[in-house]
Chains A and B, each alone.
Chain A
Amino acid sequence: MSLNRRSLLKASGIGASTLAMPYFFHRSAAAAEPLRVGVLFSLTGGLSIIEKSLSDATMMAITEINASGGVMGRPIEAVLEDGASDPKTYNEKASKLVIGDKIVTVFGSYTSASRKAVLPVFEKHDAMYFYPTYYEGFECSRNVVYTGAVPNQQLSNFIPWIVKTLGKKKFFIVGSNYIYPREMAKVCKILMKQNGATYVADEYLELGDSEWGSMVNKIKNSGCDAVLSNVVGDSVVAFYREYKNQGLTHETLPICATVTSEIEIAAMGPEYAVGSYTSFPYFMAIDTPRNKAFVQRYRSFVKDPKAVTHHALESSYFQVFLWKQAVEKAGKATADAVREGVRGQEFDSPGGHVTVDPNNLHTYLTPRIAQWQADGQGKIVNAYPHPIEPLPYVAYGETDSNLFCTRNGLDVAKLRKS
């Protein structure tokens, strides 16, 4: 009768450890024990539009690695979870993967909101999160490997190029009202100043709002000669349509965008975007055999002959290989091994050569500028000669000779000074 809670816990603890014992011995005996990783994207809800494709690309990479012998001879077993387009659900699923399933590495997230929601879980339990999306920077976690572009990798060649090649001097900055477009606008303004250009307005529309009448009218009357757009999500489609419907053309007043990808172009109809520009490290139109084969493999993997590939999708794919190489280099798959192993890791991705920065765990990527064509594909009009260093704090004065985020974490003193 003396079965109280404490003794029950004790008993179950002993029970669990005896149960675990044979498993422990078994593990060292069998070589082909699968390596478990988490895959956490939104498969339902509004963001599933894009996140489903990121999940698919991750699964494709895992399938390919397994087909060619796995990691150190061990197959990868993916535990697929659904973030349901909701940061709170993201946090719950991350806890489930890291604490419940004891998984060390998770690939996931599209929005910054969902990444911020899972971050405490990974930092507290020291697990690794691979994040494939371009984002606003201003983060320096030893538990996240960032394989998407940060602002300097999208803007540092874009603004100078617009000013010098297109001869545009007066920008209208427009974005969705949340952290990413606002941080991007900060970097834009720094670069515009450096290149002798100015901006006439810096305006925002609510995230997900698709009523552009007033805003486009303002652009029309502002006297600007280029529009810099950090508009995100389904608003993009309505924006480009309203733009043309109000009689503006990209020939005289081009939209230069940082988020508009192949997905949005296909949804709005290419005729609305012909002549406008986007800056990304990866475009589906990159004309290399490796990329063409990648697009083919992706299309047959998702059984959709018209599926499009885009920047975050490509990063979702190659980051699995970066993780594989890190594990193989370290010889084990613990968090420390992955973190140290992935530093400086290189890979020939569909979009070109990528390297993980040994300091801040972000990724060296090659900025490219594309002009959208009538077939819905970008024509690459400018590309950086080499991959450039990721600087997540560039909006606060970070340069390649004065890094804020290093192996030892964020140098808060430098951030304060800025």
Chain B
Amino acid sequence: MFDVIFIGLSLGSILLLVALGLAITYGAMGVINMAHGEMVMVGAYTTVMGGLWLHIGFLASLPLAFVITGLLGWAIERIVVRRLYGRLLDTLLATWGVAILLQQAVRLEFGLSFFGIHIRGLGPGLQNVKVPAWMTGVVSIGGDQVNIYRLFIILVTAALTFVTWLLMFRSDIGIQVRAITRNPRMAAACGIDVQRINALTFAYGSGLAGVAGVMMSGFKTVFPDMGSAMVVDGFMVVVVGGVGSLLGSVLSAGLLGQVNGGVAAVTNDILARAVVFGLVILIIIIKPTGLFSFKGR
């Protein structure tokens, strides 16, 4: 019983890890960022490239990936997203285009493969990430064997969620972000630099995706398409949880993870996935705004 709950918890934490950044860019800013999965991919490749070229370890890649994807997110906001605020469908298309650009940049090694130049760590193939030996295997807690890597993911996710909560609810910037979420024009009228705050928020959301990428690279496969499937799961969590609600995202990730793990244990993984999607449809029909939502003014 314990192992089923633990796997459910782990599934939930992985969902939340990817969804956390989306909860901010989509939830707070109203931008459907289709390139979010590619930010995860860039984070994973940061681990690969960092290991190959800078010889830095897995853990040291966490802050590096945060900075790199954060800068990339900041640039995307500056160049693309900024021009499209309030045009939901246009941001969807534009960021989808960005996603394809990023994927192909990695696959074609920034175009260098056309000239016969090969960069180690890029290209269409599968990449290897070295995980520290102490993170593989199991640790015994109270007589139950616990998967160390999954435990680590749960801890990182919990820490990131806490930091995000602090930022959003206990800092000056957080107050400004929440003001913009409720009503950007009124916030601007009160003297908040909406453009600056939006750029920072987008960069932070992307940075979180980069950290998620590092964590994913340690137990999933690193290749250029890896992010596209994750972004679907991420949106699912945010929509079920209620757009703009951090608590909602946390609870919906936990719920979907437990349902997935539980059904998979009783039947099989394929059915579990179907049940999860069925549940998501049901929730959206009954509560179209998600489990937790607030009224915008």
The interface of chain A, by Cβ under 8 A from chain B, is 44-46, 48-49, 52, 177, 203-206, 208-211, 213-215, 217-218, 234-238, 241-242, 244-247, 263-264, 266-269, 271-272, 303-304, 306
Complex partner residue of A210 from B128, B136, B150, B220, CB under 8 angstroms: B220
A245/B150 in contact, CB under 8 A: yes
Nearest CB in chain A to that of B138: its residue: A247
- Take A214-B7, A245-B147, A303-B116 as given contacts and tell me if A49 and B268 are in contact as well, using a CB distance cutoff of 8 Å: no
**Complex CA–CA separation, A387 to B161 (angstroms):** 58
Complex partner residue of B261 from A213, A234, A266, CB under 8 angstroms: A213
Q: Is B272 an interface residue (CB 8 A)?
A: yes
B220/A213 in contact, CB under 8 A: no
**Chain B: interface size category:** 35 or more
**Complex CA–CA separation, A267 to B220 (angstroms):** 10
Q: Is B219 an interface residue (CB 8 A)?
A: yes
> Closest CB of chain A to B148's CB: distance in Å?
7
- Please, which residues of chain A bring their CB within 8 A of the CB of B264? 214-215
A/B interface sample: 24 pairs, CB < 8 A? A49-B125, A203-B268, A205-B269, A206-B270, A208-B229, A210-B221, A211-B14, A213-B7, A215-B264, A217-B4, A234-B126, A234-B221, A234-B223, A238-B219, A238-B221, A245-B136, A245-B137, A245-B148, A245-B219, A246-B145, A247-B145, A266-B128, A269-B131, A303-B118
Residues 1-40 of chain B, each 1 if its beta carbon lies under 8 Å from chain A, else 0: 0011001001100100000000000000000000000000
**Complex CA–CA separation, A206 to B273 (angstroms):** 9
Complex partner residue of B136 from A238, A244, A266, A304, CB under 8 angstroms: A244
- Please, which residues of chain B bring their CB within 8 A of the CB of A235? 221
A246/B138 in contact, CB under 8 A: yes
The SS class assigned to the B binding surface is mixed
Q: Is B130 an interface residue (CB 8 A)?
A: yes
Question: Which B residues, 113 to 142, have Cβ-Cβ distances below 8 Å to chain A?
Answer: 116, 118, 120, 124-131, 136-138
A-B contact sample (5 more), CB < 8 A, given A44-B107, A213-B7, A217-B265: A44-B124, A234-B126, A245-B150, A267-B125, A269-B130
B269/A206 in contact, CB under 8 A: yes
- Please, which residues of chain B bring their CB within 8 A of the CB of A244? 136-137
Nearest CB in chain B to that of A217: its residue: B3
Q: Is B90 an interface residue (CB 8 A)?
A: no
- Please, which residues of chain B bring their CB within 8 A of the CB of A204? 268-270
Q: Is B149 an interface residue (CB 8 A)?
A: yes
- Take A206-B270, A245-B137, A266-B128 as given contacts and tell me if A218 and B265 are in contact as well, using a CB distance cutoff of 8 Å: yes
**Complex CA–CA separation, A70 to B272 (angstroms):** 56
**Complex CA–CA separation, A172 to B206 (angstroms):** 41
**Complex CA–CA separation, A140 to B107 (angstroms):** 36
Complex partner residue of B127 from A46, A209, A215, A267, CB under 8 angstroms: A267
> Closest CB of chain A to B100's CB: distance in Å?
11
- Please, which residues of chain A bring their CB within 8 A of the CB of B136? 241, 244-245, 271-272
A48/B124 in contact, CB under 8 A: yes
- Take A177-B270, A217-B265 as given contacts and tell me if A245 and B138 are in contact as well, using a CB distance cutoff of 8 Å: yes
A264/B126 in contact, CB under 8 A: yes
B118/A215 in contact, CB under 8 A: no
B107/A268 in contact, CB under 8 A: no
> Closest CB of chain A to B271's CB: distance in Å?
10
